[in-house]
Amino acid sequence: MSDVVLAGVSVAYDGAPVVCDLDLSVASGEWLALIGPNGAGKTTILRAIARLVPFRGAISIGSRALTELSSREVARQVAVLVQEPQMPVGMTVSQYVLLGRAPHLGYLGKESARDRGIVRDVVRRLSMEELASRPLDRLSGGERQRAAIARALAQQAPVLLIDEPTSSLDVGRQQSVLELIDQLRREQELTVIAAMHELTLAGQYADRLALLVDGRLAAVGLAAEVLTERAITEHYRAQVRVIQMNGSGTAVVPVRN
């Protein structure tokens, strides 16, 4: 089981509170989208769950407290896809994906044939075999995003945290990346927590949405419940029309008066 539970979680950077007393639970295999205006604390929550930032309160994964785990154990439970993954110049796709095996190796350990086999399977699963020996700096934006997903998958962690998975992609590639994440989630029974700024896409792909405002939870629930004209106008200071589309989700459309 890999449900993620946050109870009374607060995070402060240099004394300034960024996330305040947050309660949130994500079921095993669920996709939860964190939405909210810039600076609401979405990234910070992801960093806390990956234990990249100190926090107060309790976070547990699969009923084990995060603070009881070693950093390697955390890395075996939680894989992180940061918003702008660093793509080291000259590093091949294979080598990059192989780094995902780090949590399964000892400090000075070496990758085994099994580790290399897992990398091969992941690269094959994402149809990147042709790109395996290509340096990362010669990939397109969409290919880079797939390489980053492959590295996270090689980690074989049941929880996948994603920060703005589609921020630099065109609408077609946004859809294909999100479809890929959704397929992988179902195949591998991953729990996905993703910070997303495209509200319509968030509503279409996530099971539930959590709306954050100033580090606090303003609403959590299904897309139709959270994405209301009133909530978006109030918290995003945006002029929008929310349209319920039969069977294909909730569309949030900006309007200009």
Partner 1 sequence: MTATVAVSVVPERPAALAGMPRLPWTWAAAGLFALVICCAVGVLVGPIHIGVGAVLQALVGGQVDPGQANILWSLRFPRVVLGVLVGGTLAVSGAAYQGVFRNPLADPYLLGAAAGANLGATLAIAFAPGTSLLGVNIVPLAAFVGAGAAVAGAYALGRSVTGLRSATGLILAGVAIAAFFNSIQSYVQQTQTASIRQVYSWILGRLVTAGWDDVLLILPYVILSAAAIFVHRRLLDALTLGEDEVTSLGIPVRRVRLIVVVAATLGTAAVVAVAGTIAFVGIIVPHAIRLLIGRSYRVVIPLSMLFGAAFLVLADAGARTVVAPAELPIGVITAFLGAPFFIAVMRSTRAAAL
Q: Tell me which residues touch partner 1 (CB under 8 A).
A: 47, 50, 52, 70-76, 78-80, 82, 85-86, 88-95, 98-100, 102-103, 105, 107-108, 110-111, 116-117, 119-120, 123, 129, 132-135, 155
Sign of the four-CA dihedral 30, 33, 39, 40: negative
Q: Could you tell me the smallest distance in angstroms from the CB atom of residue 112 to partner 1?
A: 13
The nearer residue to partner 1, 15 or 172, going by C-beta atoms, is: 15
3-state secondary structure of 148: helix
Q: How far is CA 68 from CA 47, 63, 65, 112, in A?
A: 17, 11, 6, 28
What H or E segment, with its residue span, contains residue 79?
strand 78-81
Q: Could you tell me the smallest distance in angstroms from the CB atom of residue 85 to partner 1?
A: 7
The nearer residue to partner 1, 4 or 209, going by C-beta atoms, is: 4
Q: Could you tell me the smallest distance in angstroms from the CB atom of residue 230 to partner 1?
A: 36
The nearer residue to partner 1, 72 or 186, going by C-beta atoms, is: 72
The nearer residue to partner 1, 71 or 244, going by C-beta atoms, is: 71
3-state secondary structure of 153: helix
**Pick from 122, 70, 74: which is nearest to 96 by CA?**
122
Inter-residue contact 190 to 184 (CB < 8 Å): yes
Q: Could you tell me the smallest distance in angstroms from the CB atom of residue 100 to partner 1?
A: 7
**Pick from 3, 77, 45: which is nearest to 215 by CA?**
45
What gap in Å lies between CA 3 and CA 245, rounded to an integer?
31
Q: Could you tell me the smallest distance in angstroms from the CB atom of residue 15 to partner 1?
A: 16
What gap in Å lies between CA 96 and CA 99, rounded to an integer?
5
Inter-residue contact 33 to 88 (CB < 8 Å): no
The nearer residue to partner 1, 130 or 172, going by C-beta atoms, is: 130
The nearer residue to partner 1, 40 or 119, going by C-beta atoms, is: 119
